[in-house]
Copies of this chain bind each other. A is one copy, B any other.
Amino acid sequence: MSPTPQWVKELKPSAPQGTELIQAERQKSKISIEKLSNFLFTKDVLERQDKILKILEAEKVFDKSQNYFDGRVDKFKTALARAKRLRQLQVKHNWDRDDYIMANDLISEPGPYGLHASMYLTTLEGQGTPEQHKLFLEPAQNYKAIGCYAQTELGHGSNVRGLETTATWNPEDKTFILHSPHLTASKWWIGSLGRTANHAVVMAQLIIAGKPYGPHPFVCQIRDMKTHEPLEGVHVGDIGPKFGYNTMDNGFLLLNKFKIPHINMLAKFSRVDPETNKYVKPSSPSLIYGTLTWVRSTIVLQSGGVLARGVTIATRYAAVRRQFQDRDAPSGSSHEENQVLNYTMVQFRLLPLLAATFALHFTGKAMMGLYQENQKRMQVSAETVDTNRGAGPEETHSGSDLLADLHATSCGLKALGSTTAAEGLEVCRRACGGHGYSSFGGIGAWYADYLPTTTWEGDNYMLTQQVARYLLKSARAVLKGNAPNNDTSRIFTTFLQKQDMGAAHDVLGSDSDLVAAFAWRTSFLTFEALKHRDVEKNSWNSLLVDFWRLSTAHSQYLVVKNFYEALQSESLRYELDPATIDVLHKLFRLYALNTLEKEASEFYSSSAVTVRQIQLARTKSVMKLLEEIRPHALSLVDAWQFPDWQLDSSLGRKDGKVYEDMFYRASELNPLNGLTVDPYPDSDVLVKKDETSKFKSKL
């Protein structure tokens, strides 16, 4: 690669410059970005971000400039080096769990310790006895043992009951024999297992005296602690390249009559009595239920931020990029091209997603709040369970009923949130035009790494069945008059009361009516589905599409409702100025009306809204909101406070230097340009000159 000539170095983008455009754009809005950021994340969290960012930026190993060039092996090696360094920094700076998570967010790539730091530690913590904590958890916390969580199998994804790996209790020597009876029993997709872990929590079917007792967790050492070679009877490795997530060593694991001692079965909830050789039942299965709910709630909260990265990049680039003149401009007027953010077609693609980032953020926060509230109530309820039998419905239902509601809610919202984020990121990428396809755009790899979220912790389609099951059950309870006092029961009751006179929701004139229209649609679809199932006796399978629609409708209702409630909160009125609240209110209406318009068919058929109002929402209200929100778009994405280092995007640079950065990365950081080839097909020489290694040394 010849050095960049002087005449190239002197070139600038044609006027007006991106920095000028983005500055001018920023001045269009008077909302207080700082106040809004503090309201969304708290000042503490933002200060934490600054603190950690400074430390990471100073470390050479976290330099992102060569991320996109490496093959699988080098990608993984770099990721392991980063994971090690991150752990060293954690020790050095005495980071707590939140600091460590923040650092990972800023690095924004899955690392080989990922499943050790999350699922392995959590499982040992939550499902181990004090003795097991001492034996397994303590070395794991000190990274003397590196673990993972091995549940999914090659032939079995979501269906845990279908797992094939067996753990047979051997009363003779008081051991469990773990075994993979078929190829399909191979553990598969297990994060951190492929190359990194020397321990695994293996989920296996417990068998005692020939009788199966369902899947249980067993701690297995799988590799030698010194040589890191697999132990005898263990076949383990990486499952190969993926659409994204290639910095992580998702692995496979086959076990051949592999013996582990009795103490290796995690025994907090259920265990095998080594004396009697009998199974001891789990004490409180609903606590595990609770963990899944918590994991899904975090996915909902994260989905807003995940999507916001794409929206930030696309919105900033749309403020800098110009294309075509205004068609209606009088001929002879300025030849300047139009800022892309001015096009209604671009606004229509980006601004509803911008609204969705806030909607999901507030919904996720509300979910986490409910979860914590419920944990408290469960504690109280567990303590008072014996003395409280005669209390009113509010009390008796508090624990498990709220959990059932929360569980269903978290399933539906996890599906809606992660689908919205994943598909929204791709909309953002395409809204960047051709440059969105460049890795330097910063959306592609982020999208590819996020995609598994639509499948893990419950496939987004599978989950909708759980929501439907809960709604059907609730509807039956309401009809029977023995429903718990919760929001779902309330909206069903309202629907049943008004069903015969019909509804008249003024969705354009009243916010509460807008929320009520979504509740009406959920209720309508629920009682339709109930009729199909209970009266017409249709098979469960024949109703799956209806259930999916129902779950989506219900989850959209919850998001609209949570966004609405966030706007009514006192803290909002206290922390934000009226101008900012006004824009948030517009975002609420945009999210709700745009969703209503996209799902118009169900609002038509449930008669939740008049035909005229749906048409007006479509042709007038949404378009007017786009126009009103547009001047604030850049400030609203700024409020998400993503550092440039985190976004790693030429298009999403805060200073607008899009083209300079794209060009610099292509021309100066791109190892392929170190390769001079022989282009002729009849020549056997492929490469005339290879200077690609010069680029590697920049790492």
Contacts and interface: CB of A to CB of B under 8 A. Distances in A.
Number of copies of this protein chain within its complex: 2
Given A159-B323, A461-B345, A438 B666 contact: no
B687 A77 contact: yes
Nearest to A614: B601
Contact of A80 (B546, B614, B666, B686): B686
A439 B242 contact: yes
Contacts of A14: 155, 164, 181-185
Of A74, A186, A198, A241, chain B has the most CB atoms within 10 Å of the CB of A241
B162 A323 contact: yes
A492 B13 CA distance: 47
Interface in A240-282: 240-245, 249, 252, 254, 256
Given A229-B2, A430-B454, A544-B345, A660 B183 contact: yes
Interface in A1-43: 1-2, 4-5, 7-8, 11-14
A75 B675 CA distance: 12
A677 interface: yes
A182 B545 CA distance: 55
A62 B240 CA distance: 20
A83 interface: yes
Contacts of A659: 154-155, 183-184
A154 B322 CA distance: 12
Interface string A409-442: 0000000000000000010011001111111100
A544 B324 contact: no
B328 A675 contact: no
A182 B13 contact: yes
A512 interface: no
A544 to B, nearest CB: 4
A390 interface: no
A73 B80 contact: no
Contact of A600 (B188, B198, B448, B604): B604
Interface stretch (A231-239, A366-374, A476-484, A572-580): A231-239
14 contacts: A12-B182, A69-B71, A162-B324, A162-B337, A183-B659, A184-B659, A194-B672, A243-B437, A243-B438, A252-B667, A326-B541, A348-B544, A426-B426, A600-B601
Contact of A196 (B84, B601, B679): B679
Contacts of A436: 455
B343 A76 contact: no
Interface string A434-464: 1111111000110010011011100101000
Nearest to A323: B159
Q: Which 10 A-B pairs have the closest CB atoms?
A: A71-B71, A600-B601, A243-B444, A87-B681, A345-B544, A68-B241, A14-B182, A327-B540, A241-B439, A11-B183
A143 interface: yes
Contacts of A1: 237
Interface string A318-334: 00000110111000000
Contacts of A494: none
A156 B322 CA distance: 8
Interface string A57-86: 000000000001111111111001101110
Given A11-B254, A459-B433, A328 B541 contact: yes
Nearest to A433: B157
A499 interface: no
A13 B455 contact: no
Given A541-B344, A623-B542, A143 B68 contact: no
A377 to B, nearest CB: 31
Nearest to A660: B183
A152 interface: yes
A195 B677 contact: yes
Given A326-B541, A430-B454, A240 B605 contact: no
B455 A72 contact: no
Contact of A154 (B155, B183, B545, B662): B662
Interface in A610-637: 611, 614-615, 618-619, 623
B344 A235 contact: no
Contact of A673 (B88, B238, B438, B601): B238
Interface in A633-671: 659-660, 662-663, 665-667, 669-671
A539 interface: yes
A72 B70 CA distance: 6
Nearest to A86: B681
A587 interface: no
A626 B112 CA distance: 43
A540 B323 contact: no
A13 B155 contact: yes
Nearest to A164: B14
Interface in A379-430: 426, 429-430
A343 B242 contact: no
A229 B239 CA distance: 42
A313 interface: no
Contacts of A49: none
A243 B439 contact: yes
A152 B434 contact: yes
A123 interface: no
Interface string A162-200: 101000000000000000111111101100001111100
